[in-house]
Chains A and B, each alone.
Chain A
Amino acid sequence: KQEVTQIPAALSVPEGENLVLNCSFTDSAIYNLQWFRQDPGKGLTSLLLIQSSQREQTSGRLNASLDKSSGRSTLYIAASQPGDSATYLCAVRTTSGTYKYIFGTGTRLKVLA
């Protein structure tokens, strides 16, 4: 059974720091992996999606990498800003034949001004 883990559960950093959020999964047979941002009491906003055949995706100050063999993905945030404060979740889609996604528990990020 696929399990997705995100460590740490919470992180506080000063403004301007570069930071890395981690996502681990137990079954490397994934179809894709998606990173989301969630603000308190809100829905999820998609940040980046990496297909299983890709190694990384970039959008602005965000870069997500995928290493299927080790069951890991990282989300790199460059030059963090207070507006980046939110909970970041990763989700994996396990096979191409289903539409099910397994979510991690998230990392709650606080960027201090």
Chain B
Amino acid sequence: DGGITQSPKYLFRKEGQNVTLSCEQNLNHDAMYWYRQDPGQGLRLIYYSQIVNDFQKGDIAEGYSVSREKKESFPLTVTSAQKNPTAFYLCASKGDNTAEQYFGPGTRLTVT
């Protein structure tokens, strides 16, 4: 059963703590993306990776970090430097042979 998984579905953290969101795909896609979605807003690109061991900043990368050590995995760390981390985080992937992006179910992060 191919697809993208994100865990956990809900995550709660105290302010000042770093937290890592998981994204795994078994679609054999080269490109992976992290987006943030706030209420009433569209998706904003945080980081993207076109290939293993390579990634680029998106439009709102400050306070976030990523790694791409394996093709299947693209974890996102929300650091304490992110001023407003509470949001819905979506991971996506895209293969070279497909024009479509495929999305995971999302992780809702609440920081208090």
The interface residues of chain A lying within 8 Å CB-to-CB of B92 are 44
User: What is the number of contacts between chain A and chain B, taking CB atoms within 8 Å?
Assistant: 57
Interface residues of A (CB under 8 A from B): 4, 9, 32, 34, 36, 41-46, 49, 51, 89, 91, 93, 99-101, 103-106
**Given A32-B99, A91-B101, A44 and B90 contact (CB-CB distance below 8 Å):** yes
- Provide the main secondary structure of the chain A interface: strand
Task: Name the prevailing secondary structure of the B interface residues.
Answer: strand
- A32, A45, A99: the one contacting B103 at CB < 8 Å is A45
Complex Cα–Cα for A99 and B101 (A): 10
Most chain A CB within 10 A, of B31, B58, B103, is at B103
A100 proximity list for chain B (CB < 8 A)? 45, 48, 58
